[in-house]
Each structure stands twice: as structure tokens, then as C-alpha cells.
């Protein structure tokens, strides 16, 4: 792990002066590279046009706010075919173009935004000696690639009690009882197994009969003891077993 340094990139910046007070550190720094590349044509140039100063906020150091006074330059583009004749040197490891804070401070704000959101993130930043707004923290989150933003959690699906029978089996049980009240629970369980591949216990069947839905079918077969023909009895059983579900 890299050791923390006062400067964001000591290979690109030279510290000229350090001014510290009880609450603020001002670091006057300048770029060290003798040349810079045009952001359009990528041609390097050493022809300096002018100098200018940028005021950039940086990460706090030992509880003190840090501000960089960055002395940087504008260059002439040496490519005659380039539409940009003058450009400012870029230091992507230190600060983004037109930004007012360093990239590492932006990373800190982004992490705070992801962890705490806007209002709570602002309070945490203030406790670290940093000043920002909830809108800034939320804007940094929105600016991140979609792959870095956690997806919305899936809707909570209530767990199904394995002891609870599906509605179609419950309906079939009450229908069987309505069609033939003499059916015993274990007989109803056998029919449910044949029709649904699930065999409820007699106790479950009794509970369904006591609390289940209303029957959707009425009695269509005569009581078994009233059917005298053995063939008619077998046909009645087959009709009952093969009756529509529900």
C-alpha cells in the first residue's frame, strides 16, 4: 500500500512554499514537466504561452484543511493543422480540467456519498474539516458508471410455509368432502396424491375442512352404499378421481 503524501502526485508537482496555520495548510506548488501534450492532437509542446494560478481544495492533513495554489501554464500547439492553438497543461493524476478539488478529494467525497448519502455525508465531511453540499455528494454518485452503483434490492418475497397446501389442493379437499361426505381423511389424501403428486396428512385435511374455502363443486355421485352395481361403483370411483381440479 502506498504511503500517504502531502502532494497528490509528487512526480508531477514541485512544492515551492508551505504555509500553515492552526486550521489550514496552503501548499504553493508548480508543475515539473518541461512540456505538455495538446488534448486534441496529442502533440507535445515546449512553447509556453503564459502562466496562471489555480486554487484547488485537497484532502485534509492531520485534521487541517489543505488548499493547493497550483501554478501551471498554457502552451502553444506546435501542430499547424490542430484547431486548438493554445491549450492548458493537464495533470490528470492531480486535478480534472476546470475542477476546484483534487481527484483524491473527489474520491473521498464519492465514497462518503455512497456510504451516507447527502445530508449525513455533509455532516461527516464537516467533521473532517471539509465543506461540501448534499447536492454535490449526490451528483458525484450519479456521475459514476452504472456498474458501480448498487442495483435496487429485489422485492421481498415472503417465504412459503412448506406445511401450507397450495390453493388448488385445498379446494380439491373441500370439493371431495362436498361430493362425498363419507370420504375419510386418508382416502382424500390418496386422491390428492393421484391427482397432484402431493399427499397431505390426515391432520392437514381436517384443518382444511375446518378452515378451507367454500366448495366449488356440488355432489354429482350418489352415495357409495346406494350404488348396488359393482361396475357402477368402480366407474363412480374413477369419475371422482378424474374429476376436474378446483
Query: What are 184-198's pLDDT values in tens digits?
Result: 888 888 888 888 888
pLDDT tens by residue, 198-215: 888 888 888 888 887 888
**Mean pLDDT, range 97-125, rounded to an integer:** 90
**Mean pLDDT, range 150-176, rounded to an integer:** 72
Name the phi and psi angles at 159, rounded to 5. Answer: -70, 140
**Mean pLDDT, range 10-35, rounded to an integer:** 90
CA 3 to chain centre: 32
Write a three-state SS string for the chain.
CCCCCCCCCCCCEEEEEEEECCCEEEEEEEECCCCEECCCCCCEECCEEEEEEEEEEEEEECCEEEEEEEEEEEEECCCCCCCCCEEECCECCCECCCCCEEHHHHHHHHHHHHHHCCHHHHHHHHHCCCCCCHHHHHHHHHCCCHHHCCCCCCCCCCCCCCCCCCHHHHHHHHHHHHHCCCCCHHHHHHHHHHHHCCCCCHHHHHHHHHHCCCCCCCCCCCCHHHCCCHHHHHHHHHHHHCCCCC
Q: What is the pLDDT of residue 162?
A: 47
Residues in the chain: 246
Instruction: Parse the chain into domains and list their residue ranges.
Output: 10-100, 102-146, 167-241
Give the CA angle between residues 240, 241, 244 to the nearest 5°.
80
Q: What is the pLDDT of residue 87?
A: 95
Q: Is the pLDDT of residue 147 over 80?
A: no
Burial of 113 (0-12, 13-18, 19+ CB in 10 A): buried
Q: How far is CA 35 from CA 52, 56, 67, 115, in A?
A: 16, 22, 25, 40
Alpha-carbon span 12 to 136, nearest angstrom: 28
**Mean pLDDT, range 122-128, rounded to an integer:** 86
**Mean pLDDT, range 80-107, rounded to an integer:** 92
Q: What is the residue-averaged pLDDT of the chain?
A: 83
Q: Which pLDDT band holds residue 50 (cuts at 50, 70, 90)?
A: very high
Q: Is the pTM of this model over 0.85?
A: no
Q: Decide if 45 contacts 86 (C-beta within 8 A).
A: no
Residue (of 79, 70, 90, 74) closest to 26 by Cα position: 70
Q: Decide if 101 contacts 57 (C-beta within 8 A).
A: yes
Amino acid at each position: 500500500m502506498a504511503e500517504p503524501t502531502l502532494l497528490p502526485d509528487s512526480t508531477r508537482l514541485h512544492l515551492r512554499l508551505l504555509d500553515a496555520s492552526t486550521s489550514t495548510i496552503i501548499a504553493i506548488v508548480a508543475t515539473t514537466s518541461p512540456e505538455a501534450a495538446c488534448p486534441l492532437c496529442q502533440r507535445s509542446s515546449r512553447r509556453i504561452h503564459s502562466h496562471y494560478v489555480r486554487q484547488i481544495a485537497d484532502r485534509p492533513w492531520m485534521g487541517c484543511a489543505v488548499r493547493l495554489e497550483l501554478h501551471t501554464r498554457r502552451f502553444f500547439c506546435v501542430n499547424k493543422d490542430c484547431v486548438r492553438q493554445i491549450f492548458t497543461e493537464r495533470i490528470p493524476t492531480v486535478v480534472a480540467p476546470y475542477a476546484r478539488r483534487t481527484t483524491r478529494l473527489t474520491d473521498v467525497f464519492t465514497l462518503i456519498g455512497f456510504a451516507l448519502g447527502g445530508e449525513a455525508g455533509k455532516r461527516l465531511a464537516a467533521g473532517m474539516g471539509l465543506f461540501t453540499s448534499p447536492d454535490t455528494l449526490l451528483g458525484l454518485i450519479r456521475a459514476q458508471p452504472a456498474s458501480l452503483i448498487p442495483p435496487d434490492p429485489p422485492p421481498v418475497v415472503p417465504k412459503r410455509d412448506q406445511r401450507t397446501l397450495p390453493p388448488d389442493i385445498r379446494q380439491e379437499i373441500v370439493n371431495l368432502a362436498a361430493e362425498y361426505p363419507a370420504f375419510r381423511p386418508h382416502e382424500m389424501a390418496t386422491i390428492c396424491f393421484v391427482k397432484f403428486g402431493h399427499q397431505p396428512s390426515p391432520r392437514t385435511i381436517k384443518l382444511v375442512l375446518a378452515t378451507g374455502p367454500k366448495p366449488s363443486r356440488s355432489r354429482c355421485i350418489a352415495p357409495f352404499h346406494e350404488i348396488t352395481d359393482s361396475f357402477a361403483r368402480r366407474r363412480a370411483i374413477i369419475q371422482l378421481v378424474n374429476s376436474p381440479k378446483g
